[in-house]
Structure 1
Amino acid sequence: MHGDGPAGSPQGPAGPPVCYRHPGRETHIRCTRCERPVCTDCMVSASVGFQCPDCVQAGGRTVREARTIAGARVRNTDGSAGATGAVVTKTLIGLNLAVWILVLVVGDKVVDRFILLGRAVVGGQWAGIAEGEWYRLFTAAFLHQEPWHILFNMFGLWMLGPPLEAMLGRVRFLTVYLVSALGGSALSYLIAAQNQGSLGASGAVFGLFGAALVVGRRMNADLRPLIALLVINLVITFLNVSRIDWRAHVGGLVVGALAAACMVHAPKNHRVAFQVLSIAGIVAVLVGIVLFRTSQLS
């Protein structure tokens, strides 16, 4: 007589156990987790001994999914779980380029319609944010006219975007970008003359500078090259205040840093709720600024 094997373990009629997946194959190898016999084709190497395919699959379901420091899923370059492939960054660059080409083809009509403008007479009638055209707070961030302007902004977006997108995740990265653009527009609207126009993605790009500093600090990275580059850009900004809207740059920088801080310093418990509420708070403050300025101009 032959002794019984573990519960659920198939056993050959002549004695040696057989693989639970291939009843015709005798084997003396057992899974270290469930102790079922497995043949050489089914066994999977483990840290200690071998495991059966079912136990490996069950173990995989219990492994915690990899997350970024902001809580987003880690993705591969193909979009599956591992770097992001910079999908959002590429889309933003493509959108900016498309609008720039539209401006070249159509001309000033597009600029007059979507530029950041407090309140002024355009085409014989009043126009601007104070006249209810709030969309200008965002559309201006996608407008460019001079080739050098879009070249520098898209270079900055391409340099800062992919690593931030990988570390924050697509949705959080896009949120930081758009909130930074809103922050730059809000400060420009608050301080600039009501008939002074402003356009360009600079506010959003400076927001990515601020976000990169916060994320780099969180990861204990060497920030000296990034700080040097930011200082150079700020010097260029304030040396050309007659041509560059410094308010949009500063506003985007501050808001981008605050938004990123809300992302990477959120508590692990209720992290998403904290991030959503924090960003909502930032947006509420910016909306308050816009409402205050509108009341002045109205």
Structure 2
Amino acid sequence: MTQPPYPPHQQEALPGCWWHPNRQTGLRCVRCNRPACPDCLRDAPVGYQCVDCVHAGARESRVRRPAFRGSRTVAGAPVSTRAVVTPLLIAVNVLVYLVTAAQAGEMMQNQRSEVFFDGMLWPLRVVVTDEWWRLLTSGFLHYGLLHLAMNMLALWILGRDLEVLLGKIRFLALYLVSLLGGSTAVFVFGDLTSAVAGASGAVYGLMGALLVAVLRLKLNPSSAIGIIVLNLVLTVTIPGISLLGHLGGLIIGALAMVAMVYAPAKQRTAYQVGTLVFLTLAMVGLIVYRDGAAVAEACAIPGVCLGVA
């Protein structure tokens, strides 16, 4: 790189190099526009950049795409920038809400609908009538418009980035196993007579997964930790919210994410599938164990016994 000669009267007006003020120069960095002598400029895709901008660009590149290795992410998913499963899950939740609201005839009292009653997680009903589908269907039901809006907003914010990192199939598996984790915690450790519903267990699972992903990518975890702590505080302080459902989803989601992003590359899929199967079987085992112990509790409730709701 050479600097073109300038007549004496122009040389006097030329600025000094940003790093070598005693060197007059007519060259500038194409990125920051600061004057720079030939020794302080480097080749760039377009023109020349100063040494500071070259180093800053390298740092930004490392921070911007830390999750990608070649053509796949650290979870083994093909590189993509478009979320598909996340908006689809939101659409399903909204559709179910509209159906329950239409049946109930009220937007804020949609829990009065038959669909809501048949799908919410009511442990006593599960024990007495073996309606096991409630463990999953309850995760797509919401008490009123505000409950739906809060969960769907959280799902949108968390789901977009996690789906890009995990890919569609892994993300959907994480969501469903987290949902089951929340339901399992409510069924195993909760009150048989209390009914719950909502996607909060799955959403908290995404929160736990986000924290694991941040740690795996060696990013600052303070924001992720702050979000989780804030939401747990709100869960404890606001009446009517299921702490067990949130904690169950959070723990299962975090454990599943560990397998997603820490599995060795050569056997990644086997580790990921194996972990998800193990977590699912463990939850099923807890549910079956609790069901056996809950039969006596159910029959002790006046007016309730086996085969009678």
TM-score by length of structure 2 reads 0.69
Could you tell me whether the CA contact under 8 Å between 2:79 and 2:164 is conserved in 1?
yes
Task: State how 1:141-220 maps to structure 2 within 5 Å.
Answer: 141-220=139-218
Could you tell me whether the CA contact under 8 Å between 1:129 and 1:136 is conserved in 2?
no
1:245 lines up with 2:242 in the alignment: yes
Could you tell me whether the CA contact under 8 Å between 2:138 and 2:198 is conserved in 1?
yes
Could you tell me whether the CA contact under 8 Å between 2:127 and 2:294 is conserved in 1?
no
Give the equivalent residue in structure 2 for 1:292.
289
Could you tell me whether the CA contact under 8 Å between 1:184 and 1:252 is conserved in 2?
yes
* Structure 1 position 221, deviation (Å): 1.4
Instruction: Specify which of 76, 82, 94 is matched with residue 71 of structure 1.
Output: 76
For 1:130 and 1:248, locate their aligned partners in 2 and report how far apart those are by CA, in whole Å.
21
Give the equivalent residue in structure 1 for 2:10.
none
Which deviations, in whole Å up to 9, do the C-alpha atoms of 1:206-254 show, x marking residues without a partner? Answer: 00000000011101112212211211110000112x4001100000000
Q: Name stretches of at least 5 consecutive residues in structure 2 with no aligned partner.
A: 1-68, 105-112, 296-309
* Structure 1 position 147, deviation (Å): 1.3
Which deviations, in whole Å up to 9, do the C-alpha atoms of 1:115-168 show, x marking residues without a partner? Answer: 00111xxxxxxx325532111111000001211111110110011000000011
Could you tell me whether the CA contact under 8 Å between 2:122 and 2:195 is conserved in 1?
yes
How many pairs were matched up? Answer: 219
1:91 lines up with 2:127 in the alignment: no
Give the equivalent residue in structure 2 for 1:261.
258
Which deviations, in whole Å up to 9, do the C-alpha atoms of 1:30-57 show, x marking residues without a partner? Answer: xxxxxxxxxxxxxxxxxxxxxxxxxxxx
SS of 1:128's partner is helix
1:65–1:229 Cα change, 3 Å: closer
* Structure 1 position 185, deviation (Å): 0.2
For 2:126 and 2:121, locate their aligned partners in 1 and report how far apart those are by CA, in whole Å.
7
SS of 2:266's partner is coil
Q: Name stretches of at least 5 consecutive residues in structure 1 with no aligned partner.
A: 1-63, 76-82, 120-126
Give the equivalent residue in structure 2 for 1:132.
130
* Structure 1 position 65, deviation (Å): 6.5
**Percent of aligned pairs sharing the same letter:** 39
1:116 lines up with 2:113 in the alignment: no
Could you tell me whether the CA contact under 8 Å between 1:103 and 1:145 is conserved in 2?
no
SS of 1:133's partner is coil
For 2:194 and 2:133, locate their aligned partners in 1 and report how far apart those are by CA, in whole Å.
17
Report the aligned-residue RMSD.
Answer: 1.3
Could you tell me whether the CA contact under 8 Å between 1:207 and 1:256 is conserved in 2?
yes
Structure 1 runs, 4 residues or longer, greater than 4 Å off: none
For 1:129 and 1:92, locate their aligned partners in 2 and report how far apart those are by CA, in whole Å.
28
Give the equivalent residue in structure 2 for 1:3.
none
1:223 lines up with 2:221 in the alignment: yes
Which deviations, in whole Å up to 9, do the C-alpha atoms of 1:232-289 show, x marking residues without a partner? Answer: 110000112x400110000000000000101111111121111111110000110011
1:105 lines up with 2:110 in the alignment: no
